[in-house]
Amino acid sequence: MFLALRDLKRGARRFLLLGVVIALVAILSTVLSGLATGLVTDGISGLRALPFERLAFGEGAEATFSRSSLRPPALDAYAALPGVKATPLGASFANAAPVDGGPNLDVALFGVSADSFLVQRADARAALSGTPGLILTSELEDEGVKVGDRYTLGAADLTLPVLGFTYAGTYGHAPIAFTSLETWQQIQYGNGADGRFSAIALSGTDRGLDRAAKATHTDVLTKDEAYAGSPGYTAETTTMTMIRAFLLIISALVIGAFFTVLTVQRTRQIGLLKAMGASNGYVLRDGIGQMAILVSIATISGVLIGGLLVFALSRTPAPVELNLPAVALVTVSLIVAGILGSLTAFRRVTQVEPAIALGVES
Amino acid sequence: MTNQPALSLDGVRVAFRDGLDERAVLDDLSLDVAGGELLVVSGRSGAGKSTLLAVAGLLRRADHGDVRIDGTSTAALNERRRSVVRRDHIAFVYQSANLFPSLTAVEQLELVGHIRNEPSGEVRHRARALLEDLDLADRADQLPAQMSGGERQRVGIARALMASPTVLIADEPTASLDPERAKVVAELLASAAHDRDIATLVVAHDSAALQHADRHLRLDSGRLHHVED
Ligand SMILES: Nc1ncnc2c1ncn2[C@@H]1O[C@H](COP(=O)(O)OP(=O)(O)OP(=O)(O)O)[C@@H](O)[C@H]1O
Ligand SMILES: [Mg+2]
């Protein structure tokens, strides 16, 4: 890349425009990646934080709590398996209207047994087994909710006090409120609950789960599989993946078009190199190497700027999160797309005749 | 070993389509140039001089005939092999110097070594020495845009010599220079041919170049004719 490097250094202005375009694509890709990670995290941080490994849903519920309703015999079947811990989980969305002032809350209401492995803090266990109330995710404390505030939930018009705050996260972009399973059932079904709940949280070995699932007409999903049921999760990830794929294609095409124009402009130079005895491989290495260097510098600059932007945004309520593997993937895939794009000029380079070196310069 | 000519064209024919007819620009043309000989070819515009140089320099193929470099036939070689022969045996000097705009004078020469994959330290040393020989040492680190036309042309010649070629081919190297500069360039080519034992094939019309010619031929109707001056 003898020629390519000096060309880049001394003709930097010619490459500036393309460099800026690639950097902008890299910035956009990084911010989108941050947004994708942030949205996903925002949608499922509640599930991620809970210490279970699998969830059993009613058959065909496809990880959606509202489609799944189970009864105690199903729970017993799992609980009877050796090495398996199983506990019921009630999950639904509810509006919590303030009684004595404070913000109105749309929450993901999780009903858990106070003595289950899902509740790990001793003070939380004590709170949930006492008088009915809510344990809210700590973000709500920042929004002005205080311990002791009372909220009316659901159709049952049950009024519950805020018992405390914990790091609970969100589910389907709604802040999570924990309550006891009994209270959840009361809110969800009134007095006709009949022991129903949404899903079974499982921990421990996976031996025997298949059999239990078959016997109880339930589906066992891993935690990762269960994320897909979070409202918006699939749509968000698909949209983000699609936008990022388009950005990759766009940048490959832009680089291909630019490199093609550059190759046409350089036809005489290429002919001259070939007249000097340079092989097609030499000329291609020089040209594609030049694009690779340019794309790498522009992409890395763009990713760094994008990273700073994401970092700045992460201090606002915007759901963004910097994820290093995701950012590394953005960087590598943009560079690879750029190199693939520059391959479109491959034939143009190999077809230049050395004889044009003797032609009179225009 | 018999004394083979460094460059030898044998029964070369190149024809172009001209409407329905075929017009032979080079017609059964044969030519030998010995090492150390400066041969000047002239002819009217469109006579086929550049085409002759392109064939002799393996830049294009003849429709018929063979080109031998140091006795080695090239007719049957594929493009890859021809480019290797070019790289190792043939150098060009152009009417406009055809320098790379982003390379300094010394780098124009170093590029020759880089294409040949030679060690860069030795190449740099040789490039500087060659520029010094051609009285260009003070231009070594300047870009073509910072040089005069005559300087560019001399750097172009230095680049050609950097290849230590068997055959040097120059297409109207003095045409775009004023008589004073043309004289310098012509002398340079002549001394390159004579001192370095290079078979030098030059297309030129001006007296500066003709003065130094060992032999002068005119291209007309596809053939070469002797010119007595
Ligand atoms: N690729 C081509 N296709 C068709 N005709 C061509 C082609 N290349 C050259 N010719 C024709 O061949 C003839 C010789 O061209 P060439 O460039 O060799 O002339 P020349 O003697 O170098 O002329 P000049 O002194 O103007 O440089 C011209 O008539 C030209 O039109
Ligand atoms: Mg010509």
Give the model confidence (pLDDT) of A256-267 as tens digits: 898 899 899 999
Is B59 in contact with A275 (Cβ distance < 8 A)?
yes
Tens digits of residue pLDDT in A150-175 = 999 876 678 999 999 998 888 988 99
- Res A173: pLDDT: 87
- Res B210: pLDDT: 86
B198: left (phi over 0), alpha (psi -120 to 50) or beta: beta
- Res A192: pLDDT: 83
- Res A157: pLDDT: 75
Cβ–ligand 1 contact at B26 (below 6 Å): no
- Res B229: pLDDT: 63
Q: Tokens 């064939």 map to which residue?
A: B55
Tens digits of residue pLDDT in B87-115 = 999 999 998 889 999 999 999 999 999 99
Neighbours of B100 (CB within 10 A): 20
Which of A135-139, A155-159, B42-46 has the least mean pLDDT?
A155-159
The residue whose C-alpha atom lies closest to atom 16 belonging to ligand 1 is B48
**CA A97, CA A134: separation in Å to the nearest integer?**
13
- Res A122: pLDDT: 87
Q: For residue B112, which of B157, B159, B167 has the smallest C-alpha distance?
A: B159
Domains along chain B with CATH numbers:
5-226 (3.40.50.300)
Residues 122-141 (A) with a CB less than 8 A from some CB of B: none
Ligand 1 test: best mutation among B13, B14, B16, most atoms within 8 Å of CB?
B16
DSSP single-letter state for residue A361:
P
With an 8 Å Cβ cutoff, is B26 touching chain A?
no
Rounded-to-10 torsion of CA A280, A283, A285, A291:
-130
**CA B134, CA B132: separation in Å to the nearest integer?**
5
Confidence of residue B1 (pLDDT cuts 50, 70, 90): very low
Strand partners, B219: B224
With an 8 Å Cβ cutoff, is A361 touching chain B?
yes
**CA A61, CA A31: separation in Å to the nearest integer?**
34
Q: Where are the beta strands (DSSP E) in chain A?
A: 54-58, 84-98, 105-112, 134-137, 150-153, 158-166, 170-171, 174-180, 199-204, 218-222
Amino acid letter for position B86: R
- Res B180: pLDDT: 87
A275-302 average pLDDT score: 94
A62-82 average pLDDT score: 91
Confidence of residue B122 (pLDDT cuts 50, 70, 90): very high
**Alpha-carbon distances of A344 from A210, A293, A306, rounded to whole Å:** 51, 17, 28
Residue B49 has pLDDT above 80, yes or no: yes
Q: Which residue has the higher pLDDT, B26 or A100?
A: B26
Cβ–ligand 1 contact at B46 (below 6 Å): yes
- Res A191: pLDDT: 82
Confidence of residue A316 (pLDDT cuts 50, 70, 90): confident
Neighbours of B90 (CB within 10 A): 25
Tens digits of residue pLDDT in B125-137 = 999 999 999 999 9
Where is B220: in which H helix or E strand?
strand B215-220
**CA A328, CA A300: separation in Å to the nearest integer?**
10
**CA A330, CA A339: separation in Å to the nearest integer?**
14
**CA B100, CA B113: separation in Å to the nearest integer?**
15
Tens digits of residue pLDDT in A231-244 = 888 888 888 889 88
Confidence of residue A124 (pLDDT cuts 50, 70, 90): confident
- Res A155: pLDDT: 66
